[in-house]
Amino acid sequence: MIEEMRAIEKSQTWVLIELPLNKTPIDVKWVFKLKLNPDGTISKRKARLVVRGFLQKQGLDYMEVFAPVARIETIILVMALANGRRWPLFQLDVKSAFLNGPLEEEVYVTQPPGFEVKGCEDKVYRLRKVLYGLKQAPRAWNKVIDSFMIKHKFLKCPVEHGVYVRFQGDANLLLMCIYVDDLLITGSNISEIEKFKGLLMVEFEMTDLGKLRYFLKLDLLNLAGELLSTKENMQQRS
């Protein structure tokens, strides 16, 4: 809980103020979860401060909510492509990704249980950035990462908006899939991959999970290998 509060304060997510007239704050709550390793063992215990987003009112507390992610089928296809071309696959996890997204709407939340400011218990927080649980949180984060990718000369796939590619010849191609705060990176040039990973880690706080084995708790690498083998068998039969 303390780690979560530090991340919120570090991101300058909110400001403590008196609740304006005719405004209603939205409650927040603590959610506890276990993060598991691929073998099912416990990796870490996490506490997340979450806004009770179901209390939001459309047109007042939020407008648009859609945020694209790469489909599982597309991710498997990208892995199969990388396997077939012997490209390395890497995975990164963005820490507290949603806290990077600026909030356009005027939203107030109550103080977190157990972390009320002494002498200011009646005050509320006005959000500057999104918190988990807000309906517009995924969209706000997606706009941030999308701007970053475009800035670094990546093109967004016109039919799969969670996939980005930067092509500078066969020897220098980078491809990235985004699934909320999970990033998959591959390409033909390992030095360019490492360079881009460095740029990502300067811009966002994240964990480099190294070479990909499991993604979204699924052994997708084996699935991709099976897909590639099936394709090769079909080609041999034709």
pLDDT digits (tens, 9 = 90+) for 121-135: 999 999 999 999 999
Q: Which pLDDT score is estimated for 162?
A: 96
Q: Which pLDDT score is estimated for 145?
A: 97
CA dihedral over 9, 119, 18, 26, signed as positive or negative: positive
For residues 158-180, average pLDDT: 91
- Output the pTM of the full model: 0.85
pLDDT classification of 235: cutoffs 50, 70, 90: very low
Q: Does residue 45 contact residue 34 with C-beta atoms inside 8 Å?
A: yes
Q: In this predicted structure, which of 21-25, 40-44, 183-187 has the lowest mean pLDDT?
A: 40-44
pLDDT digits (tens, 9 = 90+) for 55-81: 999 999 999 999 999 998 999 899 889
- Identify the CA nearest to 109 among candidates 176, 43, 14, 180: 14
Strands (E), 182-237: 182-187, 206-211
Q: Rounded distance, CA 198 to CA 56, Å?
A: 37
Between the alpha carbon of residue 136 and those of residues 110, 118, 129, 131, the distances in Å are: 18, 31, 11, 9
pLDDT classification of 232: cutoffs 50, 70, 90: very low
Residue type, 219: D
Q: What percent of the chain has pLDDT over 70?
A: 89
The total number of structural domains that make up the chain: 1
Range of the domain at 177: 2-237
- Identify the CA nearest to 25 among candidates 102, 100, 106: 106
Predicted confidence (pLDDT) at residue 234 exceeds the cutoff of 50: no
Look over the chain and give the mean of its residue pLDDT values, rounded to a whole number: 89
Predicted confidence (pLDDT) at residue 181 exceeds the cutoff of 90: yes
Per DSSP, what are the bridge partners of residue 175? 165, 186
What is the token pair recorded at 102? 């600026």
pLDDT digits (tens, 9 = 90+) for 133-163: 999 999 999 999 999 999 999 999 999 999 9
Residues in the chain: 238
Predicted confidence (pLDDT) at residue 117 exceeds the cutoff of 90: yes
Please list, in sequence order, all residues whose beta carbon lies within 8 angstroms of the beta carbon of residue 160, skipping any fewer than 6 positions away. 68, 70, 71, 74
Q: Which pLDDT score is estimated for 231?
A: 42
Q: Rounded distance, CA 8 to CA 61, Å?
A: 20
